[in-house]
Chain A
Amino acid sequence: MSRSTAAQPAKLPSSPRKSGTTPLKLATQTLMSATSIHKSYRKGTLEVPVLKGVDLEIAEGSFTAIVGQSGSGKSTLLHLLATLDAPDQGAVYFQDRQIDNLPSRQREAIRNQEFGLIFQFYHLLPELTTLENVLVPKMVQDGFFSYLRNKRAYKKRAADLLEMVGLGHRMTHRPSELSGGEMQRTAIARALISEPSIILADEPTGNLDEQNGDEVLETLNSLRNQENLTVVMVTHDANLAQTADKTIRLVNGKVV
């Protein structure tokens, strides 16, 4: 899937709930959108609604922050956007295509090639070195032989990415030998290896001290500028939310 498709004029399905409060940036194309998303968790017989009709649009090349109180459903929303989970109601669109109801094979392919995921707890594989961790999405994408064929190119790109996040000297280290910031920067490199269209990050600095968090954000910012990335980030950091092109605030399962 190429970016050129995304350059076509977006034909978003009109939604009656589409709120006018969201400022529309006409200059940019919508890369991803969600309409009327409902999601609830079942606890025994008790149904706990988490999202009660969320609509959002994410423009290409923008930096969107999702904020809200703890337990307001930020992570849930991000997971739905990333197709890790399916909404009870509503739809998720990516490049004008509804993706939440695709067969798992295709959703996996989109996750693998179009999305770059970053988590609060880094989620690196402890048995693999930094370099191998960065290469995992490529290993997942390719079959055994095509991976071996392309291994050299992949390794080069992974090394370049690690260099970019400032970990050129840590390539053969295990995650257990890295600091939290280094691990998160490795995770960023991993998210970028497949040249994704969009980065979905869930509190990437939530587990880091201020200095490390700033470093990570800096890295992310510079990469965003370099590669013209679209970033959706869940955060608690009000200052960070200030710098975002757009802030989505979740209250009681709704966007306010």
Chain B
Amino acid sequence: MYKLLLSWRYLRTRFIALASIISVTLGVATLIVVNSVMSGFVFEMKSRLHGILSDVEVAAPLLGQIHNPEYHTDVIRKVLGNDIESMTCVVRNPALLTFEVNGRQWTQQVMLLGIDDESFGKVTDFHPYLQNTHKREQFSFNLEEHGYPQWVANGCKDWIGESAWDYRRRKFQKIRQAETRRLEQERLYDLAAAEYLEQQAAKSRAWDANQADDSSATASTAHYDSVDSSEQPIAASPATFIGPQAPDRSSAKKSMSESGFQYVPLPEKAPDFAALHAQRAETASETKPSGLTLAPTHFSQAGGKLRELRKFSPVDAHARFRDEPNVEEFFNPEEDQYTGIILGLAIAKRKTIIDGELTDFYMVRPGDDVQIMFPTVGGTAKPISENCTLVDFYSSNMHEYDSSFAFVPLKELQKIRGMVDPLTGDASVSTIQIKLKEGANLDEARDKLIAQFPPESYPYDIHTWQDTQRPLLSAVNMELTILNLLLFMIIAVAGFGILATFFMIVVEKTKDIGVLKALGAPSSGVMSIFLGYGMALGLVGTGAGVILGLLFVRYINQIAAVVQMITGQEVFDPAIYYFSEIPTIVSPLMVVLVGLGAILIAVLASVLPALRAARLHPVEALRYE
């Protein structure tokens, strides 16, 4: 009884006990907060790292291939059995991506992934990271009409602007109109030139006739009269024509046609295209104007069904590139798209400053066409180039992925890269990705697969997603361990504080200890006063620390906001971390462990002083005042 009473009284009447409690409280709270935030970060980071990496992967070397993937998937299914959740085949190869930004070429390297529409999303977290809301639910490589976000987030204007079919139609409409205008103008110039030539030819004939009359002066005047005053500079050098000898007729015509073509003035106003169309249609039936074979008619007449004509030949993967004009002839970019491609958002997104505000600028956007260039498979790899239409962005907020990945349909890529056997029609792949069931041991699965496909006989690289990100993950883990170690030292410091405090209290209480012993208290009782005191300190400090820590974690974002308001310094910049707020995960086990650890340290710190108190000789303790 006296133990409890005295422990309690010592606790209540000692200011220094309060200091010890506060140090324990702060230590515990800090450990809980830091651990929660760190595990929040690590969790977010891991799920991001995992992102589009499958659990386990059987990969051929960079430009190699896995032949007969069906056989491999069967074997894998047999080896891993029930652990498999789903599997998908992927073709992966490095490629060059080229697109135009304001008329300039932009080229960069990407990792091109040919993915299966159906199964890829089941193996990896691919769909949730797509930007188009329709594609997240119903995935395809077609350009969508709607669903592209025009969002404002992350503290800066995040403007993707116009996208999708609307944008593509308008863009190519503009291009077509400009082209039409250009062609019409060219045609007008041609017509004018032809007319002029006709006139000149007539003049020339008249001149020839005059020459025959042998009257050079009249001929000269007649020539000047016949020329329109506005076209005077064209006949700039009459000296060419005036000579003692009659110039050769054909050479004169040639020089005139050249100068005439150069100096025909632009029409005053824009030509009436509708009328011109009609006129052209008339004249087309009669006479075909020379140099106007690229008439704009086929832009309007092409339709979606013509897309089939662009299909790749299974026999000759390169056929399409050898006679490209054939394909282009039926392709109407206002209504057709090339093979869909999905790019990492960071490839296209740049920051720019508009009106003093940080704004996102998209170098390409869904609806634009891009070119990709990559080598074919096999020993005699040849570079090939392919047009694609950007249909969506992929954003996992992992810069490493977002800045390098590009996705195209698996089947198309297999065809283009020549991975399809022309005789059997079997297609090879470069990677088989496996998603395991929740809780399955990845390393074990990987080892089983390595045993099945030993590197001596198979040129495959088999690894888990963690293997791929090993350096980063182990760095993070080490960071976490060291952080915990350092923080635990904080509690240890609190522990030594308690130790020192207790020694002081024992010295201060020497006389009381002597009295208690004189009154018959056993050494163990005296000892338990101080152990109980330490325990009480630990309990109270830990309890307060746990409550404080959990409250802090609960309101960490509000606290960050307040700190930011006071200091003006941004505590948590979402743009750096890609999280809209500070992620936290409170693990009950961690809280319990930290609490127990703190109490243990407090008790341990009180053991030595308590022992000393127990060993005190009552006479010594009582002797002097």
Q: Which residues of A contact B (CB under 8 A)?
A: 79, 82, 84-85, 104-105, 108-113, 117, 119, 121, 123-128, 132, 136-137, 139-144, 147-148, 190
Contact = CB atoms under 8 A, between A and B. Distances in A.
Contact of B516 (A82, A104, A121, A140): A140
A200 to B, nearest CB: 10
Contacts of B512: 123, 125-126
Contacts of A136: 2, 515-516, 519
A136 B9 CA distance: 14
Contacts of B287: none
A111 B619 contact: no
A148 B1 CA distance: 9
A170 B517 CA distance: 26
A139 B5 contact: yes
B535 to A, nearest CB: 16
Nearest to B520: A112
A147 B1 contact: yes
Nearest to A116: B519
16 contacts: A79-B619, A84-B517, A85-B617, A108-B522, A119-B515, A123-B512, A123-B518, A124-B515, A125-B515, A127-B10, A127-B13, A136-B516, A136-B519, A139-B2, A140-B520, A140-B525
Chain B interface size range? 20 to 34
A15 to B, nearest CB: 25
B106 to A, nearest CB: 80
A127 B6 contact: yes
Contact of A117 (B4, B518, B522, B523): B518
A1 B9 CA distance: 33
B519 A117 contact: yes
B252 interface: no
Contact of A85 (B13, B511, B525, B619): B619
A108 B520 contact: yes
Contacts of B5: 128, 132, 139
Given A105-B522, A119-B622, 13 more contacts: A84-B517, A84-B518, A85-B618, A108-B521, A108-B522, A117-B518, A123-B518, A125-B515, A127-B13, A140-B2, A140-B516, A140-B521, A143-B1
Contacts of A117: 518-519
A120 to B, nearest CB: 8
Contact of B518 (A82, A109, A113): A82
B228 interface: no
A132 B512 CA distance: 14
Interface string B274-295: 0000000000000000000000
Contacts of A144: 1, 4
A124 B521 CA distance: 15
Contacts of A119: 515, 622
A234 to B, nearest CB: 13
Nearest 9 A-B pairs (CB), nearest first? A112-B520, A127-B9, A139-B2, A139-B1, A111-B520, A147-B1, A108-B520, A123-B515, A140-B521
A87 to B, nearest CB: 12
Interface string B527-541: 000000000000000
Nearest to B617: A85
Contact of B519 (A105, A126, A140, A148): A140
B248 interface: no
Contacts of A127: 6, 9-10, 13
Contact of A84 (B6, B523, B619): B619
Given A121-B625, A123-B622, A127-B9, A111 B1 contact: no
B6 A113 contact: no
B514 to A, nearest CB: 7
B9 A111 contact: no
Nearest to B8: A127
A84 B618 contact: yes
Nearest to B11: A127
Contacts of A140: 2, 516, 519-521, 525
B511 A123 contact: yes
A112 B520 CA distance: 5
A104 B6 CA distance: 23
A157 to B, nearest CB: 16
B619 A137 contact: no
A107 to B, nearest CB: 8
Contacts of A85: 617-619
B522 A104 contact: yes
Contacts of B518: 82, 84, 111, 117, 123
Nearest to A120: B625
A104 B523 CA distance: 9
